[in-house]
Amino acid sequence: MNSNNSVRRFMKHENMSIFLVLLFIIIAVYLVELFVVRDGNISKVAFVKPMNISNVLMQISTTGILAIGMTLIMVSGGIDLSIGQMMCFLGTGMAFLLRNKGFSEPAMVLTGVCMAVLFQLFMGFIISRTKLEPFIVSLGFMTIYTGLTYLITNGSEITISDRFTFIGQTYINLTPSFRLGLPVVLLFLLTVIMWLVLKYTKFGRRVYAVGGNENAAYLAGINVKNFKLLLYGLNGLFVAIATMVLLSRTGVGSPLMGSGKEIDVIAAVVVGGTALSGGKGNLWGTFIGVLLLGCISNALNILGVSPYWQYIMRGGLIIVAVLLSYLSGLRTSSVTVADRKEQPAEIKGSSVHAS
Amino acid sequence: MPEELILEMKGISKSFPGVRVFEDFDFDLRKGEIHCICGENGAGKSTLIKMLSGAYTPDKGEIYFDGSKVALTPHSAMQIGIQTIYQEHTLFPLMNVVENVFAGKEVTRGVVINQSWMVAKAREVLKYLHSNISPYDIVGNLGSGGQKTVEIAKGLIQESKVIILDEPTASFSQTEIEHLLSIIRKLAERGLSVIYISHHIEEVFKIADRVTVIRDGRKINTYVLKGLTEQMLIRDMVGRDVSLFYHREQVPIGEVIFEARDLSGNGVKTASLSVRSGEILGIAGMVGSGRTELAELLFGVKKAASGEFLIKGKKISMRNPLSAILHRMCYITEDRQSTGLFLKHSLDRNIPIASYSRSQSAIVMPADDVRMAQKYVDSLRITTPSVFQQAMLISGGNQQKVVLAKWFATQADIFIFDEPTRGIDVGAKEEIYRLMEGLLKQGKAIIMISSDMPELISMSDRIMVMRGGSLVAEVQKDEISEENILTYSIGGSV
């Protein structure tokens, strides 16, 4: 009886459906690879090899770290399209400081983090103090960052060769063939920390409250404006960390290093169950969303699907995931509409009589 | 006076699930007549308008227009010439006057819009209305008075025969009111019929040919203006069924705990009030008189332009809702869905959210929240499968209790209720009243805004009346009567 209950609660968990999708994809990819590509030869299946798994984890680490900040922003009802281009700007800027301006690594890190937070605070200031849509404001900032990136780089890459390798190129060898990169550990740690923050702090509860109903949140004593400002600042921190990971891993500050990242990140967050309208979402959902998208691009590579088709398939999957959450949303909201019908609006204003 | 009828309603009944709003209602409107409709908040005026504009279909009864029976839909009502001008503006604010008055009825030459003809026509009508609005003015830039004029011009251009004005002068200045009234008289001279709904009794006496009083969805009387007195109107408007009154226990009243002096701003012109522990201060007034705006000032939602706040005699600063909460105040808003609840969130997330503002600790234990939510679900008898239920999935009365629980949890001393029982059923209403009594017994103070007259009278220890953005009168317990309060609310003389 008791175990039955906990199984039911486990099955009803908000991340369950996305988790099942992930399992389904993994099994499907395994079977397809086994029977279609490898002719039934189990030992040749590359998808579940430890080496491949550690590669997938490494590949998703930057997206995953960005997605943590984006989840906070989106749960609170905002959005930030500028993160990809900000990454280009920060990455090339930091590489420039290191190679051309003689900055030490710690000084570069500090400058990079401060820049990211300040720029995001500036954007957050505009968004929180006005009624402007975060969508449009961040779109503007996105273009500004593109310009800044080209001003710094003149369009070419800045290599930092063997410097600043610690964050991106440190590995923990768990078995001879399975190694965990520091970025992966970082992603996991940050996810755990922010999950705890969202679950066990006043701050975390308020992220949901502000996204769930801004007016009610204000009346409950939350300074909504400053709170949003803080969230954007925090997002800057995550962008800075992700940028450092990527810069350190590739050793190159490329003007295209973050291009299009915002799309991957927002897709992963939404696939992970965060509502675009705010108030709903959680970091493990986001984590699974990131993992899911990472698995799919990896699988499509292994299966030898042309990169052009990969775009189409990834886009389709995003739409299917959003559609699923829309359909489940319809189910709950139809109950509310029926509930409201009991009392037509005009009567609400009047005294209701016993009849 | 012309006796020919343009519009007639016979034996109209309309009910909503569980509530009968209209029963056997008769009404007629003559050609070229200005017919005013009076009634308390909730008497059924809006429902009447909605039936005439086709938004609602009556359950029973007939409507005749110009002698023939009609079934009104929003489209057909407009087609036959009934134009309704609602309280809130329904124009396109970013378009100019010509585009607005011809919206949906553009005059064309072939497929091309005949701009010059429309501009000339609009100019002619505006001139007739003695308005200095230009056909090219952007409607959003005109004041409320200007926008009403444009709506009336639209009615003239689209050749309406009946114009219904619902509370047109809310937020008008005195000169704007005079101007509007003169325009309406011109319409009547042209042979148009006007149904005019207003809370302002002086306007009614200035403009009406006939006046109909409705109460609880019934017609009480129709008068010709000549010989009608304010007292007669008010006598007809009051007189609610005694069974609607709740019998409240009295609690000893203590010291003044909250006081506001000379507040202004946010549409409030001037207001001073104080409330004692164990006391309910009722705030009466017609819809639009500035009561909610006053509550917003009291709770720091909007910053007061002037005035001061005192708690137990000590001056405090009121910067935002947080400072109000820290001074042990709380505010139960009139619209629980848009400003009270987090509809997507479960009860254990809704109930503790305001008390975080009073707690020192940054850490929140979910188990504590669940325990707190469970405690209030039990003590307020909230009907829900569990505290993990989403707030949107429980009924209106229970949602209201969740909002109360949220504020009870903050251990507040001063409660501001705005329409505490709006839209909830009779049983839940009584439970809310009992909870309010419980608060009084604990020595809390309550400020209660209500449009529900029986509620105001049975619950309040003292009532202050708001009119036109000011608190204009204070009525002590032994002087409280419907007649008294209504007279102050609509600006008659006692």
pLDDT, tens digit, 9 for 90 and up, residues B419-437 = 998 877 777 888 899 999 9
**Does residue A9 belong to any structural domain of this protein?**
no
The CATH code of the domain that includes B331 is 3.40.50.300
| Number of CB atoms found within 10 A of residue B240's CB | 20
Looking at the complex, report in whole angstroms how far the Cα of residue B363 sits from the nearest Cα belonging to chain A: 4
On chain A, the residues whose CB falls within 8 A of the CB of B341 are 213, 216
- Asked if B363 and A212 come within 8 Å (Cβ–Cβ), the reply is no
- Rounded to whole angstroms, the Cα distance separating A169 from B208 reads 86
Q: Which long-range contacts (CB under 8 A, 24 or more apart) does A125-132 make?
A: A125/A229, A127/A78, A127/A228, A127/A232, A128/A224, A128/A225, A128/A226, A128/A228, A128/A229, A128/A232, A129/A225
Contact B25, B12 (CB under 8 A): yes
Note the helical H segments in B277-320: 291-298
How many beta-carbon pairs under 8 angstroms link A with B? 160
E-strand stretches of B66-147: 68-70, 82-85, 108-109, 112-113
**Does residue A41 belong to any structural domain of this protein?**
yes
pLDDT, tens digit, 9 for 90 and up, residues B184-198 = 998 898 889 999 998
Q: Which residues pair with B471 in a beta bridge?
A: B466
| Number of CB atoms found within 10 A of residue B201's CB | 22
Looking at B241, B267, B287, the residue that finishes a domain is: B241
Looking at B191, B220, B241, the residue that finishes a domain is: B241
On chain A, the residues whose CB falls within 8 A of the CB of B451 are 349-351
Q: CA-CA distances (angstroms) from residue A323 to A64, A273, A330?
A: 22, 11, 10
On chain A, the residues whose CB falls within 8 A of the CB of B397 are none
User: Residues of B numbered 286-315 whose beta carbons fall under 8 angstroms of chain A's beta carbons: which are they?
Assistant: 287, 299, 301
The half-sphere exposure of A135 on its side-chain side, counting CA atoms within 13 A, is: 6
**Are residues B259 and B154 both part of a single domain?**
no
- Asked if B357 and A352 come within 8 Å (Cβ–Cβ), the reply is no
The CATH code of the domain that includes A107 is 1.10.3470
According to the model, what pLDDT value does residue A326 have?
Answer: 67
On chain A, the residues whose CB falls within 8 A of the CB of B422 are 348-349
State the first-to-last Cα distance of chain B, in angstroms, to the nearest integer.
33
Give the residue from chain A lying closest to B423, CA to CA. A348
**Are residues B288 and B232 both part of a single domain?**
no
**Are residues B237 and B252 both part of a single domain?**
no
User: Residues of B numbered 253-272 whose beta carbons fall under 8 angstroms of chain A's beta carbons: which are they?
Assistant: none
Looking at the complex, report in whole angstroms how far the Cα of residue B347 sits from the nearest Cα belonging to chain A: 12
Note the helical H segments in B136-255: 144-157, 174-189, 201-207, 230-237
On chain A, the residues whose CB falls within 8 A of the CB of B390 are 332
- Asked if A213 and B342 come within 8 Å (Cβ–Cβ), the reply is yes
Looking at the complex, report in whole angstroms how far the Cα of residue A49 sits from the nearest Cα belonging to chain B: 40
On chain B, the residues whose CB falls within 8 A of the CB of A349 are 41-42, 46, 287, 422-423, 451
- Asked if A202 and B406 come within 8 Å (Cβ–Cβ), the reply is no
Q: How many domains does chain B have?
A: 2
Of the candidates B41, B364, B452, the beta carbon closest to that of A205 is on B364
Contact B65, B5 (CB under 8 A): no
- Rounded to whole angstroms, the Cα distance separating A88 from A255 reads 5
Q: What is the mean pLDDT of each run of 10 residues along chain B (494 residues)?
A: 80 78 88 90 82 90 91 88 83 90 84 89 89 89 84 86 87 79 89 89 89 88 88 79 74 93 92 95 88 93 93 92 94 91 93 91 91 94 90 88 94 94 79 92 95 89 92 91 87 61
**Are residues B153 and B204 both part of a single domain?**
yes
According to the model, what pLDDT value does residue B132 have?
Answer: 86
Contact B13, B22 (CB under 8 A): yes
Tell me, what amino acid is at A142?
A: M
**Are residues B131 and B110 both part of a single domain?**
yes
Q: Is B247 exposed, middle or buried (0-12, 13-18, 19+ CB in 10 A)?
A: exposed
Looking at the complex, report in whole angstroms how far the Cα of residue A347 sits from the nearest Cα belonging to chain B: 6
B360 to chain A, any CB pair closer than 8 A? The answer is no
Q: Going edge to edge, which strands form the sheet with B68-70? A: B19-30, B5-16, B60-65, B68-70
On chain B, the residues whose CB falls within 8 A of the CB of A333 are 392
**Are residues B155 and B197 both part of a single domain?**
yes
Of the candidates A223, A275, A346, the beta carbon closest to that of B322 is on A223
Displacement of CA A309 from its chain's centroid (Å):
23
On chain A, the residues whose CB falls within 8 A of the CB of B354 are 219-221
- Asked if B363 and A355 come within 8 Å (Cβ–Cβ), the reply is no
According to the model, what pLDDT value does residue B472 have?
Answer: 92
Instruction: Give the β-pairing of B329-332 and B414-418.
Output: parallel
Contact B153, B126 (CB under 8 A): yes
Q: Which of B167, B342, B350 would best serve as a mutation to test chain A binding (most A beta carbons within 10 A)?
A: B342
According to the model, what pLDDT value does residue B242 have?
Answer: 58
According to the model, what pLDDT value does residue B408 have?
Answer: 94
- Cβ-count burial A137-168 (b if 16+ within 10 Å, e if not): bbbebbebbbebbeebbeeeebebeeebeebb
Q: How many domains does chain A have?
A: 1
**Does residue A339 belong to any structural domain of this protein?**
no
**Does residue A62 belong to any structural domain of this protein?**
yes
State both tokens at A124: 């957050």
On chain B, the residues whose CB falls within 8 A of the CB of A279 are 342, 344-345
**Are residues B255 and B232 both part of a single domain?**
no
Contact B299, B321 (CB under 8 A): yes
Which stretches of chain A sit within 8 Å of chain B by CB? 199-206, 208-209, 212-213, 215-223, 275, 279-280, 332-333, 335-336, 339, 341-344, 346-355
Q: Which residues pair with B417 in a beta bridge?
A: B332, B448
**Are residues B235 and B251 both part of a single domain?**
no
Looking at B208, B241, B274, the residue that finishes a domain is: B241
Looking at the complex, report in whole angstroms how far the Cα of residue B50 sits from the nearest Cα belonging to chain A: 10
Q: Give the residue numbers spanning the domain of B46.
A: 5-241
Looking at the complex, report in whole angstroms how far the Cα of residue B129 sits from the nearest Cα belonging to chain A: 33
User: Residues of B numbered 193-222 whose beta carbons fall under 8 angstroms of chain A's beta carbons: which are they?
Assistant: 216
Of the candidates A202, A343, A344, the beta carbon closest to that of B356 is on A202
| Number of CB atoms found within 10 A of residue A49's CB | 15
Give the residue from chain A lying closest to B243, CA to CA. A354
Looking at the complex, report in whole angstroms how far the Cα of residue A216 sits from the nearest Cα belonging to chain B: 4
**Are residues B168 and B292 both part of a single domain?**
no
B341 to chain A, any CB pair closer than 8 A? The answer is yes
**Are residues B231 and B276 both part of a single domain?**
no
B325 to chain A, any CB pair closer than 8 A? The answer is yes
On chain A, the residues whose CB falls within 8 A of the CB of B299 are 219
Of the candidates B18, B356, B363, the beta carbon closest to that of A200 is on B363
State both tokens at B154: 């639209």
Looking at the complex, report in whole angstroms how far the Cα of residue B427 sits from the nearest Cα belonging to chain A: 9
Answering whether pTM is above 0.90, one says no
According to the model, what pLDDT value does residue A354 have?
Answer: 34
**Are residues B204 and B260 both part of a single domain?**
no
According to the model, what pLDDT value does residue A335 have?
Answer: 41
Of the candidates A201, A275, A332, the beta carbon closest to that of B364 is on A201
**Does residue A224 belong to any structural domain of this protein?**
yes
**Are residues B217 and B290 both part of a single domain?**
no
- Asked if A219 and B301 come within 8 Å (Cβ–Cβ), the reply is yes
Looking at the complex, report in whole angstroms how far the Cα of residue B375 sits from the nearest Cα belonging to chain A: 20
- Asked if A222 and B366 come within 8 Å (Cβ–Cβ), the reply is no
Q: Give the residue numbers spanning the domain of A239.
A: 16-328
On chain B, the residues whose CB falls within 8 A of the CB of A275 are 344
**Does residue A209 belong to any structural domain of this protein?**
yes
- Rounded to whole angstroms, the Cα distance separating B267 from B297 reads 10
Residues in chain A predicted with pLDDT less than 50, given as ranges, are 1, 331-355
Looking at the complex, report in whole angstroms how far the Cα of residue B392 sits from the nearest Cα belonging to chain A: 6
